[in-house]
Structure 1
């Protein structure tokens, strides 16, 4: 499992950028060589980035003319590496020298005999280098290279002395794949444009077929759903994929051969395939793989049929189980299932095999092993494994006890809260908000897999480590976080940390029962999935995707009229669960269906039907033809005061929907215009699609590249103390109202960085009149802006309820309509 994770990370070139040891010293002097040296003090071993030993760099004896390329600095990495980045520097020389390489080329080899010149996506081989002798210049290798030996070759326009210090960045190439052979990629004509599906960066021989090289299928870039688009800027349609048409292969399959560095024990192969079936492109129908350990191919083969997806045309990785077969080469036949088949990435999971030493070349120094050292190494590894097993056992035991304690404490809390609700049920409605603030709240739309609870953000503001307890006292509640807490304890749900948030959500059975409308059991009928037609993908998460589809006959199926023409397909949003999702994800998906099926309000997105009798599991929800409110408003321009009244009407509908959720003690946690849908006559429904859309990734605070928290919409206590209540949703509504009245022309607190937004929440906590509020939108009436400010009050108990917000907005809307009528 660990090896598989490492391989997956390795294939994504964005994270494979570690220095390989020129500056750090891991690369030994004997592994650095050069064509020549100007003097002993400028030998190859001095060509290390940021080193100033000797005369401060490697300098060749006499620099060659342009394109002569006789001089080089060579680095032996000992094993194959995935190299994504290079760095260069000129000579140090204590400020005396001024020699550097303005331009250079790179050559590389996997075996030391066959050398390949690197070139970029457009065929350019020259890399722009340094402009002075001191600054480090980093250059991405796009495409990256897979090599053991790498040469830096300075290039100049005329004879001159150049010097270089260098570093390589990447990671070890764990696949062991040294080449693949396949038919050349082909060209497609689609909607008047040419789509070139050739392997443009293949570094082997290319004739009728590709042999003895690596290229697009190992470059770490995965193709998009739309194969005419690319993740790489400025390239041609089809660049990310290698593709073939069925019409060119009488056998109806494509044969690919993969050669490896040694005999390995193969567990699986992952093939990234396009599946845009509306354009005649589908995942392969069958893969048949043969294995070779010595000279002949074995007769015993592995056959695999992927399960198709009738709804989703998304590109995806297909995993082929190889059954722990031993081989140094694999040959696979990929059978067509449609007119075209396209691959963008292929990766293997394997363990190094205990191979026959007769297979290893006797003159290969990398395979000369010291038996005594090997025994010591094996002993150390066995000891480490036993230690790790002991640690894992202790961790698992602690987790079991922790869960038991959490369940016990949660039962006690539920009993106590039930008693409080019974005791306070006869009190005046003004006291009901106090009861709400201590209720066991639930999120109406279960958290998206990328969403994480606040964790350690309080430590970004050091004084809060001491003041968290005081903050709880000032709120009149038990403190939610103390300086010693590893993870905040949340008022409304289970403790969720970064390791479990992606696979676990908590639901309140009591709250679900409260949400059942009279006379309705909440059961949903199975809708025929063949009556769903894909239109576009709305978003994607870790465990599933959201698609915009046309549902044929759903009005007749539900025996309801949704305002469209009878028999006309209805636009719906279809949320799917990937077939390979784990048990926890499936349970969470079914729980979400259970909750959503019981919610009925004009301003809440409605669950219409399900497809759960076979994989992939699907839930079918309403979708509004005008899309989300954020994009709808962004395209608008205010023409007159009646338009402003329409904006107030939209905000009133959002408040109405939130009033309904508040009546059921549900907390949304991610209220924003991106999570509201717009229909005919400006009808608004609250949804939860915003997190899954790449368009809104910038709205979420990122930790190590993952979107985690919508901090610009969150109350100070949610960010710093992990408290999510109706009052924190009120805060988010104030920001959503501000977005609405500014037509979403800018992001909230756009002048502040994410870190500054967090610091600003600290000013709300301190309450010393230094906090920054969102400004009053142009044309916004004073009463509406005062309502926003009330939503952002420091003390949660001082914020208005959604009932009060709804009443205030209704009054403003009616006043605006009366004023327009009077004019």
Structure 2
């Protein structure tokens, strides 16, 4: 079954999967458009060349098929023949073959390995649901020109507000003068599963309230209007946005009161009901309709008293008779809150529905209408696919707690609908099983095609404009070629991901499972010329020399133990990172991979060994040796006697200038700055090798007698489970330390490590007495990342710690700059902390 307001699943997911989602725990009917942001296949090739066309092309090497985001085939982009005039008549067209809900688009110029100079500073979008009628997209304020690129290499993502439902999309590049342009594009959204292609309704009215006018029109409707009737289009009744209790307050910024609702006055309409007609692509079996209605009866607004629906199985067929009448018990609706009303439709077959909503007061306001339905395509599947044991499962009930209208028609229709629902549910189970097997097989193939030194991390995208930088300097990691299919914020991908994980971009970084399940260091595949590429193999340590002290933590694939080596001098192959006093044991941390770990986990463990063996710096935890001759595989790293920095500082108070006043251990401001300087020094070394840590925090720094060293144990420790946000049971992310582009786009660079350093410095100057953004929930932290992205001055920064001088706080603020390109380098931070910060006390 599908929801007319759309389910958030990738292209490969069939319509029937929406049933499972709707019949699962929460029976959520309408979709969340904020999560419908999967890349639809330009970059990863899911959209074939034959479905990408253009009005013209400069040459064979710049034809339409080369207009794929972040790819460099041919001459690096689609370029129209001749120059583009300000009017913009040249276009690049993508045919998605089926209706899709489109939430944002991405554009890029022709980079061509640095040789391209052409890009479009602006463009127009036109879309079509049938290939015949073309509609120009406009934003909520009527503007149809979309801001484009400022250079040839950055990817600019434009949030479509309002979103569109379309099968075909055209990009028309614009120019303020006659000039050559080139374009690469991607579309982001998800399949429009329910097939609603238009609805017809009366034009909304204006409500006059004291001191304001409330405009209850369908302002995003993309059809035609004649004689007070809107027809042939879609708008706010199926955009997935539910209006609140107070219809004068909207969820969108800078829009007028009443924007979230379409509303009618009984007096202005001159009749006792509102007629709305729904047109679908193909016939469907309808089980329920859900109408989200306002009920602010103190202002003359109530939900409808009843609804009467007629069904037309086909365009040329007559309307069903009699009408299905569904009364709504108004005695249950004294609460002025807005609410969804569930209406059983009895499994009726229709391609067109016409419903009369009867007034219960002076005004009727509706925000959203969605359907629980299934395409008749699935009714044609062979009955032999249905397992008899599944016939006992009843169809899913309507959402719990919703007002349910009563059906005045015969119970026969309901019985037939239940039987159809049972059959469809069985088919859904079969389809899910086949679908999972298909993706599992496809995933295996995709992973097998990757080289041993290269894995991919899949990211995701936000709203409005996002710029993804694809260039790099000496201070930054190499480019992150994106390949949209969902999270870390992008969608279709290689390897393909399950629908529960959005994929909007890809980064060519080594992301290892290791012991924790998602290890800390992320690095570009190192060339043979990279520093340390020819590092000598690590010594094999005898297991019997490791004496267990305590368990530090555990991860998805193994455990981390604190051990001692009693007589390190007796191990001539052991390369000490520092001088060990005679007769004193050496503390080490031992990462142990479980013997039953998967082959991929074992390979990643060995890759991690290879990577860590190259990190030789006084402020980086050193890999001392390995135990890989037999299972379980182990890696042995140094460990600092004072434990991690978070625990070390949280047990101390800042030394007051008047001296200590109690027995609690103290720490001075100069000592904190010295520690921060050492962390900056270690990160300067990592950044010089284009290593990206991705989890810099006090919990991942270890404290010795004189040294601070950067490590990566934090994720595996239960002690810090609250510092990580779990995404749909899969990845865990330290979102309170992550830059906004990491949260929204999955883009990890040295600049995002700089952001995390600013948070780490804040932790240190607060002596780790509270978690960053402790007053915000995880969801609010993610929302705050969105405010950084929108850059409208509403983002929340960490406040200045009491001990922190203004100059040092300004350094922190520069680490949290929205533009990653202007954040300071670790070289500058280290210099600042060693030379300037001490003078600010």
Q: TM-score, normalised by structure 2?
A: 0.45
The structure richer in helix per residue is 1
- TM-score where L is the length of structure 1: 0.46
Quick one: higher RCO (CA 8 Å, sep 6+), 1 or 2? 2
